[in-house]
Amino acid sequence: MNSSSFAARIKKNKRKVLILSSFLTGLAFVGITAGISFTFKYNGKHPREEVQQFVKKVKYVAFNPEKISENSDFLAIKSLLFDGNTLKNTIKLDEYLIPYYFSEDSKQLVKFAQQNQKTSSPVFDFVDLNFDDLNQNFIIKFRARQQITDQKIAYSDFVLSPVSFYDSRKFLKADFNFALQKITEKIEEAVSNFNTIVSNFSEENSDLAKNHLYRALDFAAKINSSQNSSQVEENLAQIFPNFTDLISSIRNSKENLIPNKNERIFDINFAKDAATNQFVSVQNNIATMFLQANLTKSALDQLGDNFEINGNKIININLESKDKKSIFLDVNEFFANLKLKPLVYNTQEKETKLVISKQNPFDFFAKIKSQSNPFLKNSTIKDLINPLLAENLSLDFGNFNKSIPSDKQGIDFIFDTPNTKLVNDNGKYVVELPYKIVLYESFFDNNSNEIINQKDLILRIEGFGLPINSNIASSAFGNFLIPGTQKGIIYQQEPLFDNKSANLSQFISTFGEPVFAKVPLNKEELDNLILKRDYKALADKLSLPSSYNYNFDNFEAKVRSWSGQTLIPNLDDISRFKNLQTTTSINSSNSSQNLAVSSLVSNTFFQNPSDVATFFADYIQQEPNKIAKTFFELAKYFGLLDQNRSSLQIFDDDLQEDIFKKAEKINLNNKNIQVLSFNNHFEDVFNQGFFSTLFLPQSIKTKIGDLKDKSASEVLAALKDQEIFKESKTNFDLNQIKENYKQSVKFSTLADVLLAFYLKSAQLSNFLAWEKIDSNLNYEIVFQKGNEISKQTLDQEIKKITEQPKPEQQSQEQPEQSEQPEQSQQTQPSQLSEQPAEAPQNLTNSKNYEYLTLNFYYNIGDERTNKFSLQTPVRKILINLSTEKIDPKVSNQEKLNSLADSIPSALLNFEVNDETFTKISQLQTSTTGQQNDQTSQTSSLETHLTNLKNTKDYFSKSLDSAQLKFDIFPSFENSIKTDTINFLLTVSILDSSKNSQAQNSGQNNTNQAEVLALRSLKISVKKSNNSQSSTQNQQTS
């Protein structure tokens, strides 16, 4: 529509519209931007406000030179576009018109980007084009439009604007600006689609760099080593060939071509940043490269002589993805996702492969734990796990699995075997194996072994079978698992070396180990305890010294270790143990073969040899230097080193392999000791005491050689063949052990002590049998009645045993009976325990006795759920039971136990002055080990300790109708002089119907009055408070 009024308004501004103002003569190029997309989202403002602002940006609208020649005049354009006064139907105005705006960054004229109708960005609607013949110009009516929702569209007000004739002198600069903007956008779009940089290793292109991941810093270091732009492209082609290809394509792209000419607008090359003088700068892991864009000579010619050159323009290219993350490796993110690949288990048995469902979880767990030694290589653990897998253990690099070789150096996973756990997960056992992934600087092809990052993870190995203990499956004890073959073997080793006759072994296998009491349980009482499931009370009664005196602790101590309930002392606790130094005889006919022993004694800790083995099991998994430092301190407590000796940080370095070399330099002050023991366990060294007694045979010392020249790995390798207990068989040769014991060398250096410890570890498979299964376990003993045995059957079986003695064995063993100068509380002479081998002969004549096979085992389970899932092998004992309704022996024992349990402390603990203490000390010293005159010993003590009469009266008044006997023995704890002297008071109730003269006789003969009940108590005599006391190295708990 021709409008004369509008034409009049325009007339005076005609020159401003048709000719660009002079400030447009300078050419400027925009930097890195995302382009002018103007994507608006509704943010609470009126939707029209957005499109109103958008349409206001338009400064000029010009004809497109690609549709309308630059040389066309008004009439030519009118003829092209109009048919008379009407716009031709074939004309699409958005193809013929180009809007321009001023860039907010450069304040230079720039062409609007091509409109995309499918986006939510604002677009232009060119509604109507009219012409003015008088002024010979064209007027465009347009508005902005934006899709807000699927149903709603926001429109701006209509705008009328004159259309400029295209003049390259006026608009070409804006077109070049726009071209540079499109080039920048194209580069950024391409870069944002690149994956994390891994050099595209190809056998066909040997010039490419070694295949590995690049960090931004690695990339910058490589590129910044270039001397010029050409070298940048050469180095970039080795690392990032896609990028060089991109730059090459951009140089020849249509965006970089002058319209209607096949000539470039810009020469584009890599340049250094003016601020850093580097080709690449890095900030927050984002690498930035710099492209220098120079107008070509052809472009400058197009702009003409009036064009002002403002210098070279630098384009900043951030090498980042669309979400603004670096396209180079983010080490933290990469490392956070690292783990071992999910385990794929083998399902068919092959020559080198195992099926996990056929594996015992406890045995596998034990094998893992046996590799806890720090000197063993990580590959040993892999060799245990890989046979279970279809694919060997390897790291999972996620998206980079195909890019990173499996043998890539600089990254490793290391198993933490000492902290492996066996977990019961809803009835299925899972091995949880901690491991550490360590990433080194060398992973990025540097020579440095610096650790960049490390983290701890857990590998779960599951799918094990549920094997049933063969000893249990055929019985009524339930389908419980045994806690591993190794633990089962050691649990059954009681006695450790079984030299019974074949007939006796068969007897025990059928009926159980004979455990008879002179004061047996009443049959009705036993039945009631089993019926009530009061198994602990039954165990207590069976273990009473005055009754069956059965040692359950040799079994329970192992169960305690498995469930993590062993009371383990720390070094501070051990420092307060008493040190007893004595000798032990291994051949009574040759005193020269006595061995010098140092024993640490405690009333609280290490009551059973298995408690010590549990302590050793914990330490064998420590770092060797820590083990060495521990035994340095133990050597002081054993009296091998002076108390003021210090290790002088000799074991504080990381040279774990040198512990023997360093320990060999530490000479002991006391070089006479040959055996180290706790609580006199050495007295039982050929049975359970073997677990806790340390000695070093001459043959082993000779085999190892000079320790100052040996690495720890070499020593352990030489000891490996000393293992005694192997899964299904044992190599325990009693004669060999005895011979080794006889040849125990004197410890002369700390290295000898360490070698004795590592020898014991090798013999006992790294103490696996005492390895804790879990800390959250509890246990209970369970008894089940077996068959009752008639007296006639028992007599027949005993006859078989006694008719076939083993004189050759007796003659062989007799000379080697150990003399025991000191007796522990576990073997007090006053206890009326019976030896199983002779008990059947002595105790089967009573008409009031019946005989029963009693089975016992331990259930182990989760203390949090109180569900039991493990069971020890079943043990059998053969006990005698009283059938009398009221057994006077049982009644008397219960009365005596009740009195002993409630005795006031003041009747057992006495304080005396220095003079009296000295006399008592001399008395106990002169009579220690002389137990043949009990009456004299008792009366002598009463002479100096008058208050002892009150203790005797306590029992006499309460048991006024009973015939009592009081015996006193010095305690073995008095072997070193302290401020406390201990005695053992034994109270016995005698059968007054027998020879009463036996009451005051110390002779052990057949005429002695029968003991109906017996109980021992400890009496302590201390110096009074005002006496000088020395309590150093005392254990009073």
Q: 416-430, 599-613, 965-979, 980-994 — which is least confidently predicted?
A: 965-979
Please list the alpha-helical segments (H only) found in 304-447. 331-336, 361-370, 378-385
d(CA 930, CA 927): 5
8 A C-beta contact, residue 34 and residue 136: no
d(CA 549, CA 859): 23
On the question of pLDDT at 493 being above 70, the answer is: yes
Whether 24 contacts 109, CB under 8 Å: yes
pLDDT at residue 811 above 70? no
* CA atoms of 614 and 556, how far apart (whole Å): 13
Is pLDDT larger for residue 882 or for residue 538?
538
Question: In this structure, what token pair is assigned to residue 349?
Answer: 């048995």
CA distances from 485 to 473, 489, 609, 873 (A): 16, 6, 20, 11
Rounded Cα distance, 522 and 892, in Å? 13
| Block residue for tokens 């000492």 | 418
What are the phi and psi torsion angles at 118 (to 5°)? Answer: -90, -5
Q: For residue 928, what pLDDT is reported?
A: 43
Tokens of 326: 């670096």
What's the rounded Cα separation, in Å, for the pair 1019 and 505? Answer: 41
Helix axes 502-511, 791-802, angle to 10 degrees: 160
| Ramachandran area for residue 329 (φ above 0: left; ψ -120 to 50: alpha; else beta) | beta
∠ CA(185), CA(186), CA(187), 5° rounding? 90
By the 8 A CB rule, do 380 and 434 touch? no
Do 339 and 437 contact (CB within 8 A), yes or no? yes
Of the candidates 1032, 521, 487, the one whose C-alpha atom is nearest the C-alpha of residue 777 is 487
**How many H helices and E strands in the chain?**
34, 35
Token code pair at residue 894: 């219960």
Nearest to 412 by CA among 372, 392, 386, 440: 440
**Residue 787 in tokens:** 């068959």
Query: Which of 26-35, 158-167, 262-271, 885-894 has the largest mean confidence?
Result: 262-271
pLDDT tens digits, residue range 275-313?
A: 899 999 999 999 999 999 999 988 888 877 655 555 568
pLDDT band for position 204 (cuts 50, 70, 90): very low
Coil vs helix vs strand at 211: coil
* Contact in structure between 676 and 756 (CB atoms under 8 Å): yes
Q: Residue 288 has which token pair?
A: 């930035």
Mean pLDDT of 204-221: 65
pLDDT, residue 810, reads 45
Q: Looking at residues 42-69, what average pLDDT do you find?
A: 82
Query: In the chain, what percentage of residues exceed pLDDT 70?
Result: 78
Under 8 Å CB-to-CB from 419, ≥6 apart: which residues?
434
DSSP line for 866-886: TEEEEEPPPEEEEEEEE--SS
Tokens for 448?
């440095």
**Residue in the block written with tokens 């783990």:** 339
Residue 817 scores a pLDDT above 50: no
Q: Note the pLDDT of residue 934.
A: 43
User: What pLDDT sits at residue 836?
Assistant: 39
What does the pLDDT look like over 561-588, one tens digit per residue?
A: 999 999 999 999 999 999 999 998 876 4
Sign, CA dihedral 55-57-63-65, equals negative
The full DSSP string for 638-696 is TTSS-TT---TTTT-SS-GGGHHHHHTT-B-S-----EEEETTGGGGTTTGGGGT-EE-
Q: Which residues neighbour 1016 within 8 Å (Cβ) at sequence distance 6 or greater? A: 545, 828, 830, 831, 984, 985, 986, 987
Task: Specify the pTM.
Answer: 0.60
Q: What is the pLDDT of residues 451-461, one digit of tens each?
A: 999 999 999 99
* Higher-pLDDT residue of 831, 358: 358
What is the percentage of the chain residues whose pLDDT exceeds 90?
35
Is the CB of residue 243 less than 8 Å from the CB of residue 191? yes
Q: Which residues of 565-578 are buried (b: 16+ CB within 10 A; e: fewer)?
A: bbebbeeeebbbbb
Q: Write down the residue that tokens 């143990």 correspond to.
A: 577
* 757-782: average pLDDT: 89
pLDDT at 89: 92
Other CB atoms within 10 Å distance of the CB of residue 544: 20
Average pLDDT over residues 348-369: 85
> How much is the mean pLDDT over the chain?
79
Q: Is the pLDDT of residue 960 over 70?
A: yes
Higher pLDDT, 735 or 172: 735
Q: How far is CA 14 from the centre of its chain?
A: 84
Task: Name the pLDDT band for 327 (thresholds 50, 70, 90).
Answer: confident
pLDDT at position 651 over 50: yes
CA–CA distance, 61 with 98 (Å, rounded to integer): 6
Comparison of pLDDT for 776 and 730, the residue scoring more: 776
407 — alpha (psi -120 to 50), left (phi > 0) or beta?
alpha
The Cα–Cα gap between 755 and 763 comes to 12
pLDDT range class, residue 747, cuts 50, 70, 90: very high
Backbone angles phi, psi at 261, to 5 degrees: -135, 150
Between CA 639 and CA 600 the distance in angstroms is 10
Give me the pLDDT at residue 116, please: 62
How many whole angstroms separate alpha carbon 869 and alpha carbon 482?
A: 9
Mean pLDDT for the stretch of residues 772-787: 89
How far is residue 178 from each of residues 166, 248, 821, measured CA to CA in Å? 16, 20, 106
Going by C-alpha positions, the residue among 1008, 1011, 1010, 1005 that lies closest to residue 988 is: 1011
CA distance 648 to 827: 42
Question: In terms of C-beta density within 10 A (0-12 exposed, 13-18 middle, 19 or more buried), how is residue 219 classed?
Answer: buried
> Taking residues 200-226, what's their average pLDDT?
66
Q: What is the mean pLDDT of residues 186-193?
A: 87
Stretch among 10-14, 350-354, 429-433, 629-633 having the lowest mean pLDDT: 10-14
pLDDT confidence bin for 929, thresholds 50/70/90 = very low
pLDDT of residue 580: 92
* Of the candidates 405, 444, 449, the residue with the CA atom closest to the CA atom of residue 218: 444
Q: What is the DSSP letter of 264?
A: B
| pLDDT band for position 598 (cuts 50, 70, 90) | very high
Please report which confidence band the pLDDT of residue 728 belongs to, taking 50, 70 and 90 as the band edges: low
pLDDT at residue 12 in the model: 39
